[in-house]
Structure 1
Amino acid sequence: MKDKIGTIQSLMIKEKRETEWILTDGFEEVALETKNNEVPTGEGNQRLDVFLYLNRKGRVQATTTIPSIRKDQFDWAEVVEVMPNLGAFVDIGIDKEMLVSKDDLPLYESVWPKAGDFLYVSLDVDKKGRLLAKPATEDLFTNEDFLSASTDDLHKSVIGRVFRASKEGSVILTDDGYRGFVHHTERKEEPRLGQEVKGRIIDVKSDGSVNISLRPLKQNSIKEDAEILMTYMDANEGMMPFSDKSDPEEIRATFHISKAAFKRAIGHLLKENKVEQKNGKTYVVDNK
C-alpha cells in the first residue's frame, strides 16, 4: 500500500496478529497503530477509515487519527524542530512528524522557520518514496481562495503568517483570510517563513488583496529610527560615515530603512542638537 501513503483509505479489520491489528483492502495488509493495544472499533470484515503513512521504520502504518493535512489538502502545521542539513519537521497530528525538505525552504537559513512557527503545507511523495510536507506556493491559489478586502479595511491592523519569503517581499495570509504582500521597503528585516507578523494595511488592490507595512507609523518610526542611528554611532566612536546626502542603497544596506526615513531620523536628531554633520559624516555632539 506504499502507493497510497498520505491518503485516507477504507480498510477491513482482518485479524489480530501478536500485538498488532491487521487491516486489508482485500489484496494487501497493513498494521493499525493503536495505543495501549486497544481494540479498534468493529471486528471481522468491518471497515475502518484510516490514514496511511510511513512510520519511523519506513513501514506503511495505518492510523484512525485523520489529519487535516493530506495529499492535495493544505492546512497550517506547527514546526517542532529544525535541522540545518535536512529541513524542518512539522506536526500534522499523527505519531510521526513530517519533514519539510531543505529544498523547499528559502535559500538563506536566516529566514527558515523556527520551532513554534506554522507552515501552510500539504503532503507529497518524493522520488525516494518518502512522505514529505510541502509548503504552499502561490501558483496553487487563485483569487477565489482568498477573501477580498475593501477600502474600509485601509489602515486597519492585521495579523498573519508568512507563506512565501523572498528578498523582494513577503507574502502572508492574514487571520482575516486576505492575501497580503509586504514589500521589502515596508519591513526592517525579512520575516521568517511561517512567522506570525503584525502590520497595517496601506493599500487595497482591485483584486481584493492588500499591501501591508510592518513598519510603525511615521511619528513612531522617526524616534525608533533615530535610536538605531544613535546606537550605531555609540558603537563607532560617536560617528557614522553617512549624511542626508548619502547613497540610498548604502543606507538601506546598513540600517534597513529607506533614505526618506533616514533623513527624517537625522532631522529629528539635528533638531534636538544630538548630532551634527560635517564633510559627509554625522557626529554625536558630545563626542566630536
Structure 2
Amino acid sequence: MIEIGKYNDLRIVAKNSDGLSLSDGDREILLPYQHVPTNIELGDNIKVFVFVNKDGNTIATTQQAFAEVDDFAFLTVVDANDDGAYLDLGIGKDIYVPTREQKRMMEIGESYAVYVYLDETNNRMLASSRLDKFIEEEDFDFDEGDEVSLLITEKTDLGYNAIINDKNIGLLYHNELFANLKPGERRKGWIKKVRVEGKIDLTLQPTGFGHILDSKEVILKELKECGGTIELGDKSTPDEIYDRFQISKSAFKKAIGGLYKERRITVSDNEIKIVVDHLAD
C-alpha cells in the first residue's frame, strides 16, 4: 500500500513522457523526470517521498522531505494570509497550517514546532502548532533514567518544552541547564522524573551512579592528556565546567570527589591535579 506523506520503497515499472511509473504491486504513481536519479533502470526499486500536489495528483519525489506524516518537526513559514500559513517542507510543495491549527499567528520567516498529519478528506498533508492535541499523555514506553530523543519546541517561564521520542512532551528546567538551547534543536536527553499527574521532568545529563563513574574516567583521561593539571576546581563556575566536560557542576564535584577519595587527584578552588603515581596508568 502506498502511504501518502511517507517514504515508500517502490518499483519502476514503466517510462512515459512525464517521468517514471512507480508501483507497489497494486497502484502506480508518477516520479517526474526532474527527480529521477542517474543510473537507474526499469525493474529497480527506489525510495521516494509520496504526496498530493496542488492539482490533486499523487506523485513521488526523491527530494528530502523535512518531515513525514505523524512527525513532530520544526519548519519555517514561507507564506501566510488570514486563512493560514505555508511551511517549507523541502520538496517544492509547502505544507499548509490552517489558522485554527496555529497556537499563535504564524509570521513569514519564523520557524515553529508543528505536528504533521493527513487530512482524511483529501489526503493532503497539513500541520498544526497545537501540539497538545497530538501528544500521548499516558502511554509512556520509558522509565525514569532512560535515554530519550528530544525535540526542543519552545521556551517557557520554567524552562524548555521538548517532545520525547516523537510521542510525549516533557520539561527541561532553566536552573538545571548548562547549555544554550534553541527551539528546533534535537538533543539526547534523559527521563528525570515521571510525576503522578503525568508530567515528565527531563534532564540533559545522565543520572545515577553509572554516570558518575563515566565522568570520573573522562576527567582522569583529560588530566593525563593535559600533563596532569586542569584549571577547574571547587570554585569554578557551572559554565566553565560545562564548556570543558559537558556535565553539570554537581556531577563534576561528585566525580572529582570520588577521584580525590581514591587518592588519584588533588583538588583546590580552581585546579585539579593528578597524583603522580597515576599519571602513567
| Structure exhibiting the larger radius of gyration computed from Cα positions | 1
TM-score by length of 2: 0.49
